[in-house]
Amino acid sequence: MGNRKRSYKAEKVIERMGKKLNRQMVASLVACVHCGLCTEACHYVLANPGDPTYAPAYKADQVRKFFKRHFDWTGRILPWWVKAKSLYTDEELNELKDTVFGKCTNCRRCSLNCPMGVDYATFNRMARGLLVSVGVMPEGVAIVSKDQWEIGNQMGVLKEDYVETLDWLSDELEDELGDPAVRIPIDKMDADVVYSINPREIKYDPRTISDAAKIFYVAGENWTMPSECWDMTNFGLFSGDDDLGGAVGRRLYEKVVELRGGKLVISECGHGYRSTRCEAPNWAGMDVEFEMESSVLTMLRYIKEGRIRVDKTKNKIPVTFHDSCNNARSCGLFEEPRELLSLVVEDFREMYPNRAENYCCTGGGGAMSMSEYTPQRLKSAVTKANQMKDTGAEIVVTSCHNCVDGLTDLIRHYKLGMQVTQLVNLVANAVVVEKKVAVPVEAVPVMAEDNVLKGYRILVTDDEPDFVTFVSAVLEDHGASVSRAYSGDEALELARREKPNLITLDIAMPGKSGKEVFEEMRADSDLKRIPVCIITGRPELRRLIYDRPVPPPEGYMDKPVTEDGLLLNVRKILETAHEKKSSEA
């Protein structure tokens, strides 16, 4: 292999590849005949016509070439004959990083379209793992992985924040349904169901938790949520780090055993379901004795068993369904969500192609956390956007949090004007609550609702006057005192002067952008403790959530926002921040 000097990292990547290879991967690495049939299976290719570097076989060859050079006999003897090539420099590792992280979401669509059965997604993940092992990875992947190792969940949510949020949600549910039994049970021993969630839910999408709690309550389920080790997401799947994958899975499994839980129910998250249900036992090298199921199956079972009744007329708006790649192509979960949808919505419109042939949302494979590849992610989303547009639906439903974010970004980018929601939201909306409820939902006292924000000062920042007017009106109607800013500079000035209890912040604004304002605030000792809720349609938000150059915002919402959604998020931030302050005092 000549006398060319190899960098330490390149040396390690090659050395570790030998240890990572298994028979499935080797067969996939040697079997490709370069027939090109995988080419048009990839959404990146369809969005970038004429650029062969996106073709699955081409991308696979970037990994295959150093496999051939070091492990395959023809490549060792006549490397140029089979395009075998070793890795030497850190620059080459960076180029490989851009391919395996930036040009592929590991959606496995090409694998299912390969006549030879080459599973490119599997060895692309292996290549990611090799790079991660020498520290070559997108910044967001590094940060999220670190939090999952150290704090135990991918968004770095602390135990007290988690428990406070669950308590707050319990208060809300108790107010809404008028029954203390609706409270979310934490660390309850011997529950039949242990419910695990995605940290995105506790941090930015609490509605999904309260909706699930409402369904469990109506079903009369004996359930609980763990106070620790509750994260069912797993960045090991995205980073290719089997050790992280195994550790995260093991933590959750051991918690269920510790609580003597009967079954682990996994909330709607494609990669979380795949990792927890299917992959982590393999990574952790352990056999899991208890049952695990997706919450989609749980909700469907409740309806079939008559434990909950649903009224589909409550969901009248036309909906379509997006199959998460991890659910559909790697776990065979595609009929059940449709069956459930048919029970809870009036107008369901199929998206084509669908099920295991569906196109990726473009946010998979950890892409949402890799802000450096955002432009190519959004460009590659055109196929998905056209698929969605063709349905004529107003809402796209998906059983995956990554897909929620990925689809939200593309809806905004391609101006589709659709909303994204999850099955749990639709089921909770359709569920018939009877008898046990002391105060019917419709009869929640209006006065109490009107003043929920009384005493809070909120600074609303956006360069769109109509949007400022809408947000301000909602907040003022509920008792808040509102200041308005139409640019970044104005926001900073008002924040310094008024020290509000909360700032809502847009990202794209003339002058100082919301991102700059946010970073400046976090660096300012006077302002850094003021909670911020970013309300935007810009994908730059993802960088603040995943790369976290500064502590992430307390909340975020994707435009367009609804009155209910706005109120829920604003109240959650204000009230949990208030409780935190009180407990600190």
Interface residue with another protein, options 103, 203, 251, 329 (CB under 8 A):
329
Per-residue x/- track, 77-116, another protein (CB under 8 A) = ---xxxx---------------------------xxxxxx
Per CB under 8 A, the segment of 75-83, 188-196, 396-404, 553-561 that binds another protein is 75-83
Q: Which residues contact 185 (CB under 8 A, 6 or more apart)?
A: 191, 223, 224, 225
Q: What is the DSSP track for 382-438? A: HHHHHHHHHHT-SEEEES-HHHHHHHHHHHHHTT---EEE-HHHHHHHHBPP-SS-S
Interface residue with another protein, options 1, 94, 282, 493 (CB under 8 A):
282
Per CB under 8 A, the segment of 76-84, 162-170, 368-376, 411-419 that binds another protein is 76-84
Q: Is 186 exposed, middle or buried (0-12, 13-18, 19+ CB in 10 A)?
A: middle
How far is residue 385 from each of residues 347, 388, 407, 409, measured CA to CA in Å?
20, 5, 8, 10
Before 560, cis peptide (omega within 30)? yes
Q: Is 46 in the site for another protein (CB under 8 A)?
A: no
| Beta carbon of residue 43, minimum distance to another protein (angstroms, whole number) | 13
Interface residue with another protein, options 201, 205, 279, 323 (CB under 8 A):
279
Count of positions on this chain that bind another protein (CB under 8 A): 67
Q: Is 342 in the site for another protein (CB under 8 A)?
A: no
Q: Is 550 in the site for another protein (CB under 8 A)?
A: no
Per-residue x/- track, 290-319, another protein (CB under 8 A) = -xx---------------------------
Residues of this chain, 258-277, that bind another protein according to CB under 8 A = 277
Interface residue with another protein, options 102, 262, 281, 318 (CB under 8 A):
281
* Beta-carbon count within 10 A of 18 CB: 10
Per-residue x/- track, 4-33, another protein (CB under 8 A) = -----------------xxxxxxxx-xxxx
Interface residue with another protein, options 4, 8, 73, 466 (CB under 8 A):
73
Closer by beta carbon to another protein, 94 or else 282: 282
Q: Is 41 in the site for another protein (CB under 8 A)?
A: yes
Distance CA(328)–CA(122), nearest Å, equals 16
Distance CA(270)–CA(238), nearest Å, equals 12
SS3 135: coil
Residues of this chain, 168-197, that bind another protein according to CB under 8 A = none
In the 8-state DSSP scheme, what is residue 81?
Answer: G
What tokens does 565 get? 């959604």
SS3 105: coil
| Beta carbon of residue 117, minimum distance to another protein (angstroms, whole number) | 4
Q: Is 469 in the site for another protein (CB under 8 A)?
A: no
Longest dimension (CA), the chain: 82
| Beta carbon of residue 421, minimum distance to another protein (angstroms, whole number) | 23
Query: Residue type at 343?
Result: L
| Beta carbon of residue 414, minimum distance to another protein (angstroms, whole number) | 19
Q: Is 330 in the site for another protein (CB under 8 A)?
A: yes
Distance CA(569)–CA(513), nearest Å, equals 22
Interface residue with another protein, options 34, 454, 528, 581 (CB under 8 A):
34
Instruction: Tokens 């909120």: give the residue.
Output: 458
Distance CA(397)–CA(225), nearest Å, equals 25
Residues of this chain, 50-69, that bind another protein according to CB under 8 A = 50, 52-53, 55, 57-58, 61
Distance CA(185)–CA(223), nearest Å, equals 7
Contacts with another protein, residue ranges (CB under 8 A): 21-28, 30-41, 45, 50, 52-53, 55, 57-58, 61, 73-74, 80-83, 111-119, 277-279, 281-282, 285-288, 291-292, 328-333, 335, 352-357
